[in-house]
C-alpha cells in the first residue's frame, strides 16, 4: 500500500506542475490579447498635455522628417501628432494620419521632439492634439488606433461647431 501512496503523491505533483505551466501560459496569452485590443476611445486627461480650451503658444519643434514644424498659434486647423522613432504603435497609426486630417479639413503635423513633448506635458507617444484656427486646443489624448484618432477629431469638430454657434448668438 505504501508504493501506491508514493505513486499517487508523485502523480499529484506532476499534475500540479503541469497545471502551473498551463496557468502561466494562459496569463501570458491574456496579456498579449490585452495589448492587441485597443480601448474604445481615446481618453482626455485634464492633467496631461496642453490644457483644453486654452491657446497653444506658438513654438518651433522638430518634425519626424527632420524639418522644423511650427506648432501652436493662429493658423490652419491642425492635427498635431507626437511620435517617437522607436514607437511601434506610432508606426502603425502614421499611415492613416494624412487621410484622417484631410477628411476633417485639418493640416497634419507630425512632431518628433522630446523637448516639445516636455514643454507641453505630453505623457507619452503617440499623443494627438487638435487645435483650431486660433490655436486653441479642442481635443487631445493618447491614441492607439485609427478609431481613437477619428474619435478625437470628431470631438474637436463638435467643440469647434459649438463655439462657432455660441459666438454667432
> Could you tell me which residues come within 8 angstroms of residue 72 by beta carbon, excluding any fewer than 6 positions away?
55, 56, 57, 58, 59, 131, 135
If one compares 129 and 168, the residue with the highest pLDDT of the two is 129
Range 59-168 classified under CATH 3.40.30.10: yes
Say whether pLDDT at 1 is over 70.
Answer: no
Average pLDDT over residues 4-22: 93
Average pLDDT over residues 137-154: 92
Share of the chain above pLDDT 90, in %: 72
Say whether pLDDT at 163 is over 90.
Answer: no
Domain limits, the chain: 1-37, 59-168
pLDDT of residue 2: 75
Say whether pLDDT at 47 is over 90.
Answer: no
If one compares 133 and 1, the residue with the highest pLDDT of the two is 133
C-alpha cell at 39: 480601448
C-alpha cell at 133: 484656427
pLDDT of residue 49: 92
Say whether pLDDT at 148 is over 80.
Answer: yes
Euclidean distance between CA atoms 104 and 5, whole angstroms: 73
Euclidean distance between CA atoms 92 and 24, whole angstroms: 29
Average pLDDT of the chain, as a whole number: 89
pLDDT of residue 155: 92
Strands 68-71 and 59-62: antiparallel
Amino acid at each position: 500500500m505504501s508504493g501506491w501512496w508514493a505513486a499517487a503523491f508523485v502523480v499529484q505533483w506532476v499534475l500540479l506542475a503541469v497545471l502551473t505551466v498551463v496557468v502561466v501560459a494562459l496569463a501570458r496569452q491574456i496579456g498579449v490579447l490585452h495589448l492587441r485590443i485597443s480601448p474604445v476611445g481615446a481618453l482626455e486627461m485634464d492633467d496631461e498635455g496642453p490644457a483644453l480650451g486654452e491657446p497653444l503658444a506658438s513654438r518651433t519643434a522638430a518634425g519626424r522628417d527632420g524639418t522644423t514644424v511650427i506648432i501652436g498659434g493662429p493658423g490652419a486647423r491642425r492635427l498635431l501628432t507626437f511620435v517617437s522613432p522607436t514607437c511601434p504603435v506610432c508606426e502603425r497609426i502614421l499611415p492613416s494620419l494624412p487621410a484622417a486630417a484631410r477628411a476633417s479639413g485639418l493640416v497634419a503635423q507630425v512632431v518628433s521632439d522630446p523637448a516639445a513633448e516636455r514643454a507641453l506635458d505630453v505623457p507619452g507617444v503617440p499623443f494627438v492634439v487638435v487645435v483650431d484656427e486660433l490655436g486653441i486646443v479642442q481635443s487631445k489624448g493618447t491614441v492607439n488606433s485609427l478609431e481613437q484618432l477619428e474619435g478625437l477629431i470628431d470631438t474637436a469638430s463638435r467643440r469647434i461647431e459649438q463655439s462657432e454657434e455660441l459666438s454667432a448668438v
